[in-house]
Each structure stands twice: as C-alpha cells, then as structure tokens.
Amino acid sequence: MNTVLQLDDVSKKYGPLQVLEDVHLSVNRNDFMVVYGLPSSGKTVLLRLLMGLEKPDLGAILLRGEDVRNMPPKGRNIGYVPQDFALYPHKTIFENIAYPLLLMKKPAAEIGQVVKRAAAMLHIEDLLKKLPTQLSGGQKQRVAVARGVVKETDIYLFDDPLAGLDFKLREQLIDDLRTLQEEMDACFLYTTSDPVESLALAERIAILHERTIREIGEPQAIYVNPRHLSTMDILGFPRANLFAGKLSRKTSQMRCETRFFSFPMVMDEKGFSGEERRKVIVAVRPENILKASEKTTGCLTAEIYLREDLGAEEILYLNIQDAGLTMVTPSSQNREYDVGDQISICMDAKSLFVFDESTGTRMGKGTGDVNV
C-alpha cells in the first residue's frame, strides 16, 4: 500500500461559506506534496480535516488505507508543525522537543535518543539546554519543526511553517526541510502561500484555488505546461499577466483576439468546433514579455511605472494605456531606461496560453505571429 493519505470528494462548509468542495488528493509514502494556494484558500482547513480537528460535510478521508471518519485525532498518528510555533517559555529546548513523546509516555532513554537525532537533523544540538527566549526567530522555527518530527510516524503535516520569517532564514530552512524529508522515510504534506517556496520544496504540487484542487503535478511540468488557468495565474512569481479575449475562426484557422493583440492558435483538442466569440482568458508569464529590438514586428509600447531590483533580476511594472503588465528580465548594469520611459515590448505566440473563461480549462496555445 503506497498511498498513505487520501481525500475523496471532500467538502466542507463553515456556515454559509463553502471552504472546500470536491477535494481529491492522494499522497504516497516518500512524497513531498505541497498544497499551494493564496492566503485564506482553505489550506489550514484541509490539514485540520486530516488531523481530525474538523469533520468533512461530505466525502471520505483515508489514512493508510483506512477510513478515519470515526477516528479521534489521538488515534491518527500524525506529526504536525503549526504555523504559529508557540514554545513553552519555561521549558528548555530539549523539553520542548520532547513534549509530544512525554505525552506518549515513552521511556526516558528513548526520548533522549530521538530528541538528539531530531536536533542533529535540524542543526540545533547546541541549543538543547537553552530557553526559548534565548533563541532567534529562525532557531525557534527549527525547534518547532523538530518537535513536529520527533513523533515516529509516516505522515507529517506542515502548516505554512515559514510564513513570517525573513527570507534569508527561509532560504536556509527550505534546504534543510528538503534534506530532512529525504532522510525520513515518510510523507510530508506541506502548505504554503508562497509560490517560490512551493516550487523549491515540492516533489509534487497541488494547486488549491477557489475551493478545490485545480491541478496536481510535478512543479516544473505544471509550471511550463499548465492545464488550468489557476496554475498559470498563481503559481509563479511575479504572477502571470491575464487578458480577456475571444475566439474567432478564419477558414480553418482558429484565432484569439485581445484588446491589444491577436494571434493564431493550436487547440489542445483536435477537431474543436468552438462556438465563435467564445470568451477566453489569455495568459503570459512575466519572463515571456520581451524587450523588442528595432527589427521586431508586432510590438506594443508601454510606459514604465516601477522598476524593482531583486539583484539578479528586475521586475518592470508597465502600463499599456490603462492596463498593467508585469515583466521580468535579468538585471542589467546599465540603466538605459527608467520610470516614466516608454519601451517597446513583444511576445512569442508560443508563450501565450488560452483558457476557457468560465471553467478555467486550457483550450490551446498560440502559434505563428502576434499581430497588434
């Protein structure tokens, strides 16, 4: 039995608010599954359902193949790292990490061993005798992770544990969490609302958007070849550019037209007999908006609203008439343009994805030349 955790058609309402609807998810032993979604998309609720702190309105939850509908949280044997990592202030770091094991009434010798092993994996061996107040934010978060993983089990849940930490700490903890998962023979189910973090950590990503999981896959595969608008829209930093568009057909060639440009399309489904004027969303990632050279045809003129310098790369926030557009380029040393300047930009039709406006399903991609 390879699947250790499974949600089947799970729905959950809080009063009139539908938080989760028809959620399907199955996670294997050894998986590092990241559930990625915007803030307040229901990620924590999903974890609470798995831990048994909430009951689903509909659907089934299976742990290690067993329906846990009537199983209390205590019996589920899940390791958990919360977002809010409150440590007991009067207990040493050792005692903080050991606490879940004390509750399970493990013998002292075993506790000592397990705590030391967890501390070694998270590089906090030197801190075991200290009190929480003597630790920095990043050290405290390592302690919280250690406390979550001392429980010997095969399922660990992480509720956005790096939120609120500054990004240098996140950089180190991301590396360590990956290594930790590789060392432990277990499934990690990890939630975050940071796209860069989810791409860096995940073996597989589930995109939780507007109440349900829209797409699941390997991070690189779904980033490069998204099948659903949600993936294109939210998985990536900066976020993708979206344009309203409509389809039209000239002889046998399907075309897609937006306010600013139009282009020929290849449809995903051969023999698509799309109704004319179907409303669609055209999406293009910021790295696929290119600075046009003098010879390029099919260019748009945009005004630079802000130039943000990330060090290795820069984000240009542009305005085309009253519409905003975001592009990313490697940082250049020479400042040949600045805020307020006009620049000429273009797009390769192959980087344009077209989605059905009402369902979010992908319909096809651009091909050939972009016309403005």
Partner 1 sequence: MSEIKIKNVSKNFGDVVAVDDLTFSFPEGKVTCLLGPSGCGKTTLLRMIAGLEAPTKGSIYFGDRDVTGLPPRKRNIGMVFQYPVVYRGITVYRNIELPLLKKKLSEAERKQRIEEAMALLNLEDQAGKDTSELDNVSRQKVAVARAISYRPDIILFDEPMTNIDANSKIQFSHFFKALSKKLNQVIVYVTHDQTEAMTLADQIALMENGRIVQCNEPRILYNEPEDVFGGWFLGNPGMNFIEVDCRALDGKSLLTSSFLRSPVRVDNGALGQGVSIGIRPEHIQLHETATDNAVEAKVKRKFITVGGQYLYVLEIDAVGIKAKVSNPSPELLKATAVWIELSVDRMVIFDGKRQRVHAPAELLSEEN
Minimum distance of partner 1 from residue 340's CB (angstroms): 8
Dihedral sign for Cα atoms in the order 218, 45, 57, 155: positive
C-alpha angle 50-198-30 in degrees, rounded to nearest 5: 55
What's the token pair of residue 65? 């193949």
CB-nearer residue toward partner 1: 21 or 31: 31
Minimum distance of partner 1 from residue 202's CB (angstroms): 8
- State the virtual CA torsion across 73, 79, 85, 90 in degrees, nearest 10: 90
CB-nearer residue toward partner 1: 32 or 156: 32
CB-nearer residue toward partner 1: 89 or 330: 330
CB-nearer residue toward partner 1: 15 or 340: 340
Element (H, E) at 243: strand 241-250
CB-nearer residue toward partner 1: 239 or 249: 239
Minimum distance of partner 1 from residue 309's CB (angstroms): 4
Considering only CA atoms, which of 82, 51, 35 is closest in space to residue 153? 51
CB-nearer residue toward partner 1: 60 or 306: 306
Give, to the nearest 10 degrees, the angle between helix 167-183 and helix 137-149.
20
Q: What distance in Å separates the CA atoms of residue 124 and residue 142, rounded to the nearest whole number?
A: 7
Considering only CA atoms, which of 29, 21, 22 is closest in space to residue 5? 29
What's the token pair of residue 358? 């009402």
Q: If you count DSSP H runs as helices and E runs as strands, how many of each does the chain have, helices first?
A: 8, 21
Minimum distance of partner 1 from residue 300's CB (angstroms): 20
Q: What distance in Å separates the CA atoms of residue 159 and residue 148, rounded to the nearest whole number?
A: 11
Residue 349 is classified by DSSP as G
Minimum distance of partner 1 from residue 41's CB (angstroms): 16
Minimum distance of partner 1 from residue 181's CB (angstroms): 12
CB-nearer residue toward partner 1: 58 or 315: 315
Bridge-based pairing of strands 32-36 and 204-209 is: parallel
- The residues binding partner 1 (CB under 8 A) are 136-137, 166-168, 171, 178, 196, 199-200, 219-220, 223, 236-238, 285-288, 305-313, 315, 317, 328-331, 333, 339
Q: What distance in Å separates the CA atoms of residue 2 and residue 16, rounded to the nearest whole number?
A: 37
Minimum distance of partner 1 from residue 112's CB (angstroms): 29
